Amino acid sequence: MNDWNNTDHLFEGTTAIVTGSTRGIGAVIARQLASVGSSVVISGRTVEEGEQVVDGINEAGGDAVFTQTDVRDPDDLQQLTETAISEFGGIDILVNNAAFETDTNPDEVDLDTWNAILETDFRAYWLTAKYAYPSLVKSDHGSIVNIGSNHAIATQPKKFPYNALKAGVDGMTRSMAVAWGVDDIRVNSVNPGWTMVERIAEELTDEQLAYLDRIHPLGRIGTPEDVADAVLFLVSDLAGFITGQCLVVDGGRAAVLQDDLYLGDHNLREP
């Protein structure tokens, strides 16, 4: 069993791919994996940002390379897995993270937008896992984490088709877990809620952030580190008997049924 209190070399000798890791949650996941010993392949469309993440990891004593990847291009995804094998000898961990969303209702989405989100948020998860599978089979620590969203279980207006595809990611996770469990490959999802990434930090006013903090039972919205910690747990031996599961990381937000009642009761309990 791993000693979770001493994580410096927890993933020594492993190789991880993190898609969409030039910024935001993906970059933090990559840094966290590198900090505990995993060699990491950074991927994304922006070369400058990718190289900055790699430089930061390598300067901190980790081991990382960048490969420019458009996850809508199957050839790029094939090259991504081949880079991990050629640079580091194999693939032990795959984190499917690259995704985007639009503020649209079902009647507002055109076919081009539908295809773009489908290929990025859903098809790329399957294809990257498919291409990584032959190497993951050979690993003693084969694990996949698909980054989903709490929109898979409850949603807001104007989040289609993002919410539908994130629900699909959870279904994909279960299918992969059932199919590849015999190969000793574990597959799980991490479904974040509100998370303080760059875009959210730029858009929210102080008043809006204070309100969001209050409607979370733990009193704050999440950080990319919260999501990364959940990923590290799921790919570690501590989760060695966990597969096919969808872990919601949202500070208890999904447990709240009605905000006004929750806040009213919360105010009554405040000193």
DSSP secondary structure of 57-118: HHHTT--EEEEE--TT-HHHHHHHHHHHHHHHS--SEEEE---------GGG--HHHHHHHH
- pLDDT tens digits, residue range 233-257? 999 999 999 999 999 999 999 888 7
pLDDT of residue 7: 56
Q: Are 18 and 83 in contact (CB under 8 A)?
A: no
Listed as ranges, residues in the chain with pLDDT below 50 are: 1-5, 271
pLDDT of residue 154: 84
User: Which is the catalytic residue, given 125, 162, 211, 262?
Assistant: 162
Predicted TM-score (pTM) of the model is 0.91
pLDDT of residue 269: 53
pLDDT of residue 170: 97
- pLDDT tens digits, residue range 154-167? 888 899 999 999 99
pLDDT of residue 4: 45
Q: Which amino acid is at 230?
A: A
What CA–CA distance (Å, rounded) separates 125 from 190?
Answer: 13
pLDDT of residue 270: 55
Indicate if 162 belongs to the active site. yes
User: What is the set of domains in the chain, with CATH numbers?
Assistant: 15-197+222-255 (3.40.50.720)
pLDDT of residue 133: 98
